[in-house]
Amino acid sequence: MGRKQAREGAMQLLFQMDSNEDFTKENLEMYLENFPFDKGETDYIEAVVKGVLENREEIDNSIQENLQGWLLDRIARVDLATLRLAIFEIKHMKDIPIEVSINEAIEIAKKYSTDESYKYVNGVLGGFVRSMNKDE
């Protein structure tokens, strides 16, 4: 497999956690026990999911600031999980180019969400990156 599958796994777990309102370490461990990820994928999923959970308020604020007329609770959960994953990567995983994080989020949205969601995900992430660049 690889990083692409690990990203999809991380998004699916974040989606599941949000849907069930169960953000526990046990939920993460159970997920990893039930899916055949290799060591590198497991390490990535653990790092990203733990990082998103530890920084969820900050990440959600970043999403909310770039929604343009929407509220966070109106976003489809799969899109929210995808945005959380991408923003965590952009902010905290400096070894991953921003363009890769955005492109992978768009591909995840195309695969798991509605036909138009990828445009929305792209717009939110584009606004986030532009606002980040202004602050620097």
pLDDT band at 135 (very low <50, low <70, confident <90, very high): low
- The string over 79-94, giving b where at least 16 C-beta atoms fall within 10 Å of a residue's C-beta and e elsewhere, is bbbbbbbbbbbbbbee
- pLDDT recorded at residue 136: 59
Q: Which of 66, 59, 68, 56 is nearest to 134 (CA)?
A: 66
**Boundaries of every domain in the chain:** 3-135
Report the alpha-carbon distance of residue 18 to residue 112 in Å, rounded: 16
The CATH H-level superfamily of 3-135 is NusB-like (1.10.940.10)
What pTM was computed for the model?
Answer: 0.93
132 has a pLDDT exceeding 90: no
The amino acid occupying position 107 is E
CA distances from 11 to 7, 69, 107, 109 (A): 6, 24, 12, 10
120-130: average pLDDT:
94
31 has a pLDDT exceeding 60: yes
- pLDDT recorded at residue 36: 86
- pLDDT one-digit tens code per residue, 79-100: 999 999 999 999 999 999 999 9
